[in-house]
Chains A and B, each alone.
Chain A
Amino acid sequence: MALADARTGSGEPPKVSLLYNPALRSAVYQIVTLVVIVAAVWYAWHNVVQNLARANMTAGFGFLNSRAGFDVAQSLIAYSSDSTYFRALQVGLINTLVIAAAGVVTATIVGLLVGIGRLSHNWLIAKLCTVYVEIFRNIPPLLVIFFWYLGVLALLPSIRTIFQHVKENPDAAFFISNRGIYMPAPVFGENFGIVLAAFALGVVAAIAFTIWANARQRATGKRPPVLWVNLGLIVLFPLIVFVVVGAPLTLDYPVPGSFNMKGGMVIGPEFLALYLALSLYTASFIAEIVRAGIRGVSKGQSEASYALGLRPGQATRLVVLPQALRIIIPPLTSQYLNLIKNSSLAVAVGYADLVAVGGTILNQSGKSIEIIAIWMVIYVSISLITSLFMNWFNAKMALVER
């Protein structure tokens, strides 16, 4: 009896004041937090509405359908001053995505090369890469942008010099001026779709061949000539189709106009300055991440590869880098996100990105709260999508434990 009592007594939780009940406590904390957040959001919203009403301003996104009235310098989609604010925002968003994509790709390539270069046994290459990293990662990105825009691109030959040059060399097709790089623009003929289809077919065939070649290498130990066959499939095959359907591609050459070159394509100095600055700035950080990743792979791994007869290049490519990637990818994601967000510095050199176009709309329409909300939503979306992709890539690259 006494024993049973003792047993039930020890089975029940000790009687303590409700104040110290962990379950209750955590519930109370969460409810209080929730109430505070909801109250704060409600308070902010209420005040926005009230203050806007007091200032005789209306909130809402209806203004996006009104006529923009201003021109945008760089636009990849049809846009004129008769388009709507919404269209202008689309132009800005596309320009942001273009600079982000171009910057991420270039920064990755340059960063990878410099990161590996810092570990090179060649003294000069290693030191040059160190100097590069130390210079670019220690200068604010805005200054790097100004350096390219005002320090380099603005000093290129003026458009008048180019006109003179064209007079002397009527056959010239590429021009570098302080108004950008002019080059011939491709004009696609009717049958160009067939060439594209042939190219797509070639790529699919090349992938299939590579899979087959890998299987064959595993089965027989001999590697079929993958590089040559793939080159033939991807380059030669579409080229033959291109000639067969009658070369449906002409070039539109830039020629001097009244003030600027007419025709052709131009990459403006605003884009170039931003692109070069963001790529080279972020590359310096990526180089350090790559170096850390490679250093993080134990030395025994490369020694073992040498023992198996791999050359240093092969050892790096086949053994060290795949392992290093697991260390590299998570911090690399942060650098990509930084680059995307830094692209908003475009406004300093007049590249029509989301912030620049949005800022103009904000000023012309006075809808500051709405525009800032749109900015935040779009940047968060772009960043989240990038993160999701990188997380997926990371999971794919992660060590598969057997």
Chain B
Amino acid sequence: MAKKIVTALVGAAVLGLGATAAQADTLSDVKAKGFVQCGVNGSNLAGFGAQDSAGNWSGLDVDLCKAVAAAVFGDATKVKYTPLSAKDRFPALQSGEIDILARNTTWSISRDSQLGFDFRAVNYYDGQGFMVKKELGVKSALELSGASICVQSGTTTELNLADYFRANNMDFKPVVFEAQDEADAAYNAGRCDAYTTDASGLYSIRLKMANPDDHMVLPEIISKEPLGPAVRQNDSKWFDVVSWSHYAMVAAEEFGITQANVEEKKKSDNPDIKRFLGEEADSTIGADLGLPKDWAVQIIKAVGNYGESFERNVGEGSPLKIARGLNALWTKGGLQYAPPIR
């Protein structure tokens, strides 16, 4: 806790005193210091931001950080991670402590405008759900009136929860924790009847429970939670680099380019693919972004295309086994869509 106040204070102090620290050209700064400082989930959220016993980070958000590093430096290891709680994440980005906030953060209008951030790319379309113990016999979120519900403070989840119960004329007792680990422990100990957060998070937290099969996620999805990377406002160069790093992964999937076949695809005759991979002689796409010509190749070599990253972190290749659903390509009925690379 003390640490969090310190972080907040440092945030305020940097914002207050470090006139030179806040500036509008993060890309040059990142190139100068030689690494990307990435704010990720500090509660070991499997699938999005989690650290293994050897200290290696993995997850969908972590892959995005690696993609940016690969695009800028051609080296996905040039990332430093700052694990953040839901509450600390915004001051950390505002103060310049981190360059990218990739911490399953919902893009909302107030965060985009009022907090002084920019969102564009969405690396996971999520929605808020509820998890309960099966022994309660609850089959729908609408049966939860009067329940104690564990929730993390300072999240859109907390606001949606209040609105949902109000809209359905139900009451509930919030049990609010700052850290996800504490909320997990309290739910596990029976302090709450239900746990609410983004559905992806629920599946991840369910895996951490002593007996995952004793818990079930209710069918209702009560909100839209487009999760994506955020950067500071008024820094369009850096904003472009971060957004297009994600779109490059999606475009690669659209083109059928994978980690394994990227070298081979370079020789493709398809002008779209050639342009995308920097093989077109007079293409300036990379240079215009302030990146090397082969930036997309480096991203794909480092983390693969979006589909590969998805399956590895949250899909069939992971313990979470989440279906693509909304996160399928637009050509397959999902929402993942890369603007034209031309």
Contacts and interface: CB of A to CB of B under 8 A. Distances in A.
B90 A363 contact: yes
Interface stretch (B38-46, B156-164, B334-342): B156-164
A81 interface: yes
A372 B9 contact: yes
The 6 closest A-B pairs by CB, nearest first: A363-B154, A55-B116, A81-B162, A366-B115, A154-B189, A259-B147
A269 B116 contact: no
Interface in A45-86: 47-48, 50-52, 54-57, 69-73, 81
Interface stretch (B68-76, B175-183, B197-205, B273-281): B175-183
A345 to B, nearest CB: 5
Size range of the chain A interface in the assembly? 35 or more
15 contacts: A54-B24, A55-B232, A55-B234, A72-B174, A81-B166, A154-B186, A154-B189, A154-B191, A258-B145, A262-B146, A352-B176, A356-B176, A359-B4, A366-B111, A372-B9
Contact of B158 (A257, A348, A360, A362): A360
Interface string A155-166: 100110000000
B50 interface: no
Interface in A305-330: none
| Dominant secondary structure of chain A at its interface with chain B | helix
A384 B12 CA distance: 24
B190 A159 contact: yes
Contact of B17 (A47, A70, A355, A364): A47
Most chain-A Cβ atoms within 10 A of its Cβ — which of B144, B179, B189, B193? B189
A230 interface: no
A368 B15 contact: yes
Contacts of B175: 73, 270, 350
Contact of B173 (A69, A70, A73): A73
Contacts of A69: 159, 162-163
A260 interface: yes
A70 B161 CA distance: 8
B22 interface: yes
A54 B159 CA distance: 28
A226 B269 CA distance: 106
Given A44-B17, A154-B189, A366-B114, A81 B146 contact: no
B8 interface: yes
B148 A260 contact: yes
| Dominant secondary structure of chain B at its interface with chain A | mixed
Given A73-B176, A260-B173, A262-B146, A150 B189 contact: yes
A352 B145 CA distance: 22
Contacts of B163: 69, 81
Nearest to A69: B159
B87 A51 contact: no
A365 interface: yes
A337 interface: no
A347 interface: yes
A158 B190 contact: yes
Interface string B7-24: 011011001111100101
Contact of A348 (B1, B191, B233): B1
Contacts of B186: 154, 350
Contacts of B153: 350, 356, 359-360, 363
Interface residues of B, number: 58
A360 B233 CA distance: 23
A179 interface: yes
A111 B95 CA distance: 44
A126 B173 CA distance: 45
A355 B175 CA distance: 16
Most chain-A Cβ atoms within 10 A of its Cβ — which of B8, B11, B91, B158? B8
A50 B24 CA distance: 13
Given A55-B234, A260-B147, 13 more contacts: A47-B17, A48-B15, A70-B158, A71-B158, A257-B146, A258-B146, A259-B193, A348-B182, A350-B178, A359-B4, A366-B90, A366-B111, A368-B91
B62 interface: no
A47 B95 CA distance: 12
A372 B12 contact: yes
B115 A57 contact: yes
A113 interface: no
B287 interface: no
B147 A355 contact: no
Contacts of A347: 1, 4, 178
B5 interface: yes
A259 B19 contact: no
A368 B16 CA distance: 11
Contact of B11 (A73, A179, A368): A368
A178 interface: yes
Contacts of A372: 8-9, 12
A333 interface: no
B94 interface: yes
